[in-house]
């Protein structure tokens, strides 16, 4: 006799709550730290009532914490590089001619490697935020369809 795994049917309410948990992370563009506050509120309110919402809440929070970690690493690379390059080139001579603004005595050639690394870190940050936006939308669609979703490159801080 073959055993089958039971099919878990999520209610529309559970699907909506899970989708809103993911979508609430987009509040970061309006409210500072909204991407942590609102998912925590949704998740803690419903984690004991629904395994489906519990799974999606953990995924949303783990993804946001992973993005924070990746952002901090990129900032720790880019900010010191740009500060070092800028401070090494002091005194800068800025000249204002009619409508032109000219900076002299800035050594790009001696710092091109560092500037390239810093610019790469900034570009990676931009790419990270771009991908984050679309993954959040994708995860919310999956949740609203009643599917379990796991974000890529996510560190499981909350198990």
Give the pLDDT confidence of 41-84 residue by residue, as tens digits. 999 999 999 999 999 999 999 999 999 999 999 999 999 988 88
In angstroms, the CA 129 to CA 73 distance is 14
pLDDT at 15: 94
pLDDT at 5: 42
Q: Domain spans of the chain?
A: 12-144
In angstroms, the CA 78 to CA 118 distance is 4
Q: What is the CA angle 13-17-18, rounded to 5?
A: 115
> What mean pLDDT, rounded, does the chain reach?
87
């Amino acid at each position: 006799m073959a055993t089958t795994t039971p099919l878990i049917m999520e209610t529309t309410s559970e699907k909506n709550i899970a989708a809103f948990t993911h979508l609430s992370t987009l509040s970061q563009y309006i409210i500072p730290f909204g991407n942590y506050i609102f998912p925590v509120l949704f998740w803690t309110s419903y984690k004991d009532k629904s395994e489906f919402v519990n799974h999606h809440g953990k995924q949303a929070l783990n993804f946001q914490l992973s993005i924070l970690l990746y952002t901090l690493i990129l900032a720790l690379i880019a900010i010191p590089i740009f500060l070092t390059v800028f401070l090494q080139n002091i005194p800068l001579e800025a000249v204002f001619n009619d409508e032109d603004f000219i900076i002299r005595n800035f050594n790009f050639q001696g710092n091109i490697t560092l500037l390239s690394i810093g610019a790469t870190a900034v570009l990676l940050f931009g790419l990270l935020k771009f991908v984050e936006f679309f993954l959040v939308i994708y995860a919310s669609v999956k949740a609203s369809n009643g599917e379990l979703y796991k974000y890529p490159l996510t560190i499981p801080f909350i198990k």
